[in-house]
Copies of this chain bind each other. A is one copy, B any other.
Amino acid sequence: MLRDKVNLAEKFSAFQDYRHPRIVGEVNDCHIKVVKLQGEFVWHQHEHEDELFLVVQGELVMRLRDREVTIRPGEFFVVPRGVEHCPVAGQETHIVLIEPKSTRNTGALVHDYTVEAPEWI
């Protein structure tokens, strides 16, 4: 299905809440999502899905069990399936996610932060 081009800044300006991903595109079996994060998310993992985090504003610290990775604007990091991770942002951070359509934001964990069916914007 042919969709319009997407301007990321416009999409980020369309919502203000944290930790709630929205879908802005699809490519093959993946969704492109946008999410704002401030503070600490929760430790979780995705059994079957790799998850790409591209930072466009702010700074994202990806805590892993044996290290942490700081991702700045213009940088991306891929968390492979099965790897426990906890995203943390000390300031408001804007993130583009690329992950299979089946991906739940909290992975195998059911939590207050779980968003079962993100909407398209």
Give A contacts to B, CB under 8 Å. 1-9, 25-30, 32, 49-52, 56, 64, 69, 71-72, 74-80, 83, 98-100
Contact = CB atoms under 8 A, between A and B. Distances in A.
Given A7-B74, A32-B52, A27 B99 contact: yes
The complex is assembled from copies of this chain, and their number is 2
Contact of A76 (B6, B51, B75, B79): B6
A64 B3 CA distance: 13
B30 A30 contact: yes
A77 B30 contact: no
6 contacts: A2-B79, A7-B72, A27-B30, A27-B51, A27-B78, A29-B29
Contact of A32 (B69, B76, B79): B76
B75 A52 contact: no
Nearest to A7: B75
